[in-house]
Amino acid sequence: MKSLTIPAAVLVAIASAAVAQNAPKPVSRADYVKNLDSNFARIDSNHDGSLSAAELGTEQQRELGLAKNALQQQAQARFKQLDTNKDGQLSPAEFAAIAPTIRTSQTPQQALQALDSNHDGKLSAEEFRAPQVAKFNKADANHDGTVTPAEAQAAAGKK
C-alpha cells in the first residue's frame, strides 16, 4: 500500500473546492472522499501516490489560469455592457454610467425639521450636536466618557 504525504493546507484547499463545487446540495462522506481522491489523482501527474512541490505548483498555476480566465471573461462582458455605442472604447459618459447615484435622503427642510427641537426654524449648536452625542453615549457602553475601539466595533455591529 502506498503512503500518501499531503500537506494539511493542500487538503483543506482541495476539500474546500470540492465542497464549493457541490454547494448547496448535501454531500455524503463517501462522495466527498471520492471527489478528494479524484482531485488528488488528477494532481498526481506521475502517479507515484504523493504530491510533489512541482505537482502542487502545476495545480496552483492551473487554478490561477482558470481564475484569470474567469475574471477576463467577466471584464469583457462588463466592457461590452458599458460600451453602449459598440465602438470598442469607453467614453467618459459610458464609464460614468457605472458610478453609483449619490443623493440625500432628506431635503434641507426635512433635516431642519427633524433636528430643530425647539421649532424656531434654525439649528443651535446644541441641536446640531445632540443626535451625534446621543450616538456617542450609546456607543460608550461603560459610560466612562470614552469610546474604546472595542466599544466602537460593538456599536457598529448593533446598527
List the grid coordinates of 47: 502517479
**Taking 80 as the threshold, does the pLDDT of residue 106 lie above it?**
yes
The predicted-structure confidence for 70-90, as pLDDT tens digits, reads as follows 999 999 999 999 999 999 998
pLDDT of residue 2: 44
* 55 in Cβ contact with 46 (< 8 Å): yes
pTM (2 d.p.)? 0.45
The predicted-structure confidence for 21-54, as pLDDT tens digits, reads as follows 555 888 899 999 999 999 999 999 999 999 999 9
Peptide bond preceding 92 in cis form (omega within 30 of 0)? no
Rounded to the nearest 5°, which phi and psi values hold at 94? Answer: -65, -40
Question: How big is the chain, counted in residues?
Answer: 159
The predicted-structure confidence for 108-144, as pLDDT tens digits, reads as follows 899 899 999 999 998 889 999 999 999 999 999 999 9
pLDDT of residue 19: 52
pLDDT of residue 157: 87
pLDDT of residue 158: 73
User: Hey, how many other C-beta atoms are within 10 angstroms of the C-beta on 6?
Assistant: 15
Q: What percent of the chain has pLDDT over 90?
A: 59
Tell me, letter by letter, the H, E, C secondary structure of 109-146: HHHHHHHCCCCCCCCCHHHHHHHHHHHHHHHCCCCCCC
**Taking 90 as the threshold, does the pLDDT of residue 15 lie above it?**
no
CB neighbours of 17 closer than 8 A, spacing ≥ 6? 39
Angle between helices 108-115 and 125-139 (to 10 degrees): 70
